[in-house]
Amino acid sequence: MADDPFQPACSGSLIDNLQRLNRKERYWLLRNALGQSGTDLPLSRSFLERLSEEIGKSVSPSAWWAMDYHIDWLFSALVLDRFGADRPDRFHNPRPVAGEKVSNGRLIRGTNEDFDLIVAFERTIILIEAKGVTSWGNKQIARKCQRLREWSELSDQIVPGFKTSSPVEIFVVLMSPKPPRKLDRLEWPSFVKTKDGEPFRLRLDLTDAPEVFLAPERCDESGLPASMGDCWQLKPLGRPNLDEN
């Protein structure tokens, strides 16, 4: 068992552990910019109501949240949640079963792969991925699904009995102006709450966004896209048609 001054801080609630792992500078910059200290920034009532309605579970008004939350951090918080004060100094870092299609790294990768927004309260975690102007890609969502599948497969090797001890409810939500239309159906692990086998969906409101965004693009002298071109231009990107379902 670890015997160090950090031990008490790592034996708290699920939310405590999620907070302890949140080193994302953007989150702390936002708190500073909005002058928030001494308490967490609350999510808006309208957002919480829409989220609660979609997942079929009331989301606490005091729910904790963070942006760009690394999947490595999520898994670490789940491990700490199970061990509590009896955590060891080191944890086994297993590999997934050979032959997995998406990745072959260890459970904790040391990468920045993340979920855009995490919302957590009590024993519930909501993982949200968002797309605005760009479209959804199967590869990106498949990677996130695969990471969660690996947790389902490997967690017992780190914490024996984890799957049946103090379960944490985890929801996956996709948020965009229009519903994704070309995403493949994925096999999400059983511990992830889904809607008929697919992620829950929320509409991303872009009504206050410009009707046309501008994107700098490298090009040649004739205006053709060229990664090594001597010129660049501003390419218009239209806001998604918000009237389409």
Of 160, 68, 154, which is closest to residue 106 (Cα–Cα)? 154
Q: Which of 34-38, 96-100, 137-141, 206-210 has the lowest mean pLDDT?
A: 96-100
Mean of pLDDT values over 53-68: 96
41 band by pLDDT with thresholds 50, 70 and 90: confident
Whether 47 is covered by a domain: the verdict is yes
Which residue would you say has higher pLDDT here, 11 or 15?
Answer: 15
Q: Are residues 151 and 225 in the same domain?
A: no
**Residue 50 reports pLDDT greater than 80:** yes
Q: What is the pLDDT of residue 5?
A: 39
> In percent, how much of the chain has pLDDT > 90?
53
Q: Are residues 153 and 245 in the same domain?
A: no
Whether 3 is covered by a domain: the verdict is no
Q: What is the pLDDT of residue 165?
A: 59
Whether 243 is covered by a domain: the verdict is yes
Range list of H helices, the chain: 14-21, 25-33, 45-55, 71-83, 138-158
Q: Are residues 48 and 25 in the same domain?
A: yes
- Mean pLDDT, the chain, integer: 86
**Residue 154 reports pLDDT greater than 90:** no
Whether 152 is covered by a domain: the verdict is yes
Burial 123-133 (b: 16+ CB within 10 A, else e): ebbbbbbebee
Mean of pLDDT values over 50-73: 96
Whether 1 is covered by a domain: the verdict is no
Q: What is the pLDDT of residue 2?
A: 43
Q: Are residues 167 and 216 in the same domain?
A: no
Whether 2 is covered by a domain: the verdict is no
> In percent, how much of the chain has pLDDT > 70?
87
| Cβ contacts of 204 within 8 Å, gap of 6 or more | 130, 131, 132, 175, 176, 177
CA distance 215 to 93: 41
**Residue 75 reports pLDDT greater than 80:** yes
Whether 86 is covered by a domain: the verdict is yes
CA distance 161 to 114: 26
**Residue 218 reports pLDDT greater than 90:** yes
**Residue 53 reports pLDDT greater than 90:** yes
Q: Are residues 218 and 152 in the same domain?
A: no
Q: Are residues 39 and 83 in the same domain?
A: yes
Q: Are residues 132 and 220 in the same domain?
A: no
**Residue 66 reports pLDDT greater than 60:** yes
**Residue 70 reports pLDDT greater than 60:** yes
Coil, helix or strand at residue 230: coil
Q: What is the pLDDT of residue 10?
A: 46
Domain count, the chain: 2
Residue found by looking up tokens 């918000």 in the block: 242
Which residue range forms the structural domain that includes residue 167?
8-203
Q: Are residues 76 and 158 in the same domain?
A: yes
Q: Which of 40-44, 127-131, 160-164, 239-243 has the lowest mean pLDDT?
A: 160-164
CA distance 29 to 38: 15
Question: Count of alpha carbons within 13 Å of 84, Cβ hemisphere only?
Answer: 4
Confidence (pTM):
0.86
Q: What is the pLDDT of residue 178?
A: 87
Q: Are residues 236 and 168 in the same domain?
A: no
Give φ, ψ of 113 to 5 degrees. Answer: -60, 130
Which tens digits make up the pLDDT trace of 228-237?
A: 999 999 999 8
Mean of pLDDT values over 71-80: 94
Q: Are residues 108 and 149 in the same domain?
A: yes
Q: Are residues 14 and 115 in the same domain?
A: yes
CB atoms within 10 A of CB 208: 5
